[in-house]
Homo-oligomer: A and B are copies of this chain.
Amino acid sequence: MSETLRAGIVGAAGYTGAELLRLITDHPKLDLCWVAARDNAGKQLADVLPHTRGVAGIGDMTLESFDPAQAGKLKSRIDVAFSALPHGASANICDSLLKAGIRVLDLSADFRLKDLGTYEAWYNKHPVPGRISEAVYGQPELHRDELAGARLIAVPGCYPTSAILPLSPLLEEKLVESDGIIIDSKSGVSGAGKSPKRGSHYPETAEGLRPYGVAGTHRHTPEIEQELSRAAGTAVEVIFTPQLLPMTRGILTIAYAKALPGVTAEQCRQAASKRYPGALITVLQDEQLPDTLWVRGSARAQIAYAMDPRSQTVISMCVIDNLARGASAQAIQALNVSMGWAEELGLPTLAMFP
> Which A residues are within 8 Å of any B CB, using their own CB?
15, 18, 21-22, 25-26, 49-56, 58, 180, 182, 184, 186, 188-190, 194, 196-198, 200-212, 214-216, 237, 239, 241, 243, 245-250, 252, 254, 256, 279, 281-284, 288-298, 300, 302, 306-311, 313, 315, 317, 319, 348-354
Contact = CB atoms under 8 A, between A and B. Distances in A.
Contacts of A180: 311
30 contacts: A15-B354, A25-B349, A25-B350, A51-B353, A53-B282, A182-B256, A182-B313, A184-B184, A188-B207, A189-B202, A190-B354, A196-B196, A201-B201, A202-B206, A202-B246, A204-B293, A204-B354, A207-B247, A208-B292, A209-B247, A209-B292, A210-B291, A210-B292, A214-B317, A215-B306, A215-B315, A216-B309, A237-B311, A245-B246, A297-B352
B196 A198 contact: yes
Contacts of A354: 15, 18, 190, 203-204, 206, 248-249
B18 A353 contact: yes
Nearest to A214: B306
Given A55-B350, A211-B254, 17 more contacts: A25-B350, A54-B300, A56-B349, A182-B182, A184-B184, A186-B186, A196-B201, A200-B203, A203-B354, A209-B247, A210-B291, A214-B306, A214-B317, A216-B308, A216-B310, A243-B254, A256-B256
Contacts of A243: 186, 252, 254
Contact of A284 (B53, B207, B239, B311): B53
- List the number of copies, as a whole number: 4
A175 B298 CA distance: 44
Contact of A247 (B196, B206, B291): B206
A200 B198 CA distance: 10
A349 to B, nearest CB: 5
Which 10 A-B residue pairs are closest in the complex by CB-CB distance?
A54-B282, A208-B293, A203-B354, A51-B294, A196-B196, A210-B291, A215-B306, A51-B351, A202-B205, A51-B353
A241 B289 CA distance: 12
Contacts of A297: 297, 352
Contacts of A56: 279, 349
B348 A241 contact: no
Nearest to A190: B203
Q: In the complex, which of the residues A26, A55, A208, A243 has the most CB atoms of chain B within 10 Å of its own CB atom?
A: A208
Contact of A53 (B52, B189, B288): B288
A207 B254 CA distance: 17
A289 B200 contact: no
Contact of A209 (B252, B349, B353): B252
Contacts of A291: 50, 208-210
Given A309-B216, A311-B180, A354-B18, A245 B50 contact: no
A285 to B, nearest CB: 9
B211 A317 contact: yes
B207 A249 contact: yes
Nearest to A313: B239
B348 A26 contact: yes
Given A294-B51, A302-B53, A354-B18, A206 B239 contact: no
A309 B204 contact: no
A297 B352 CA distance: 7
Contacts of A216: 308-310
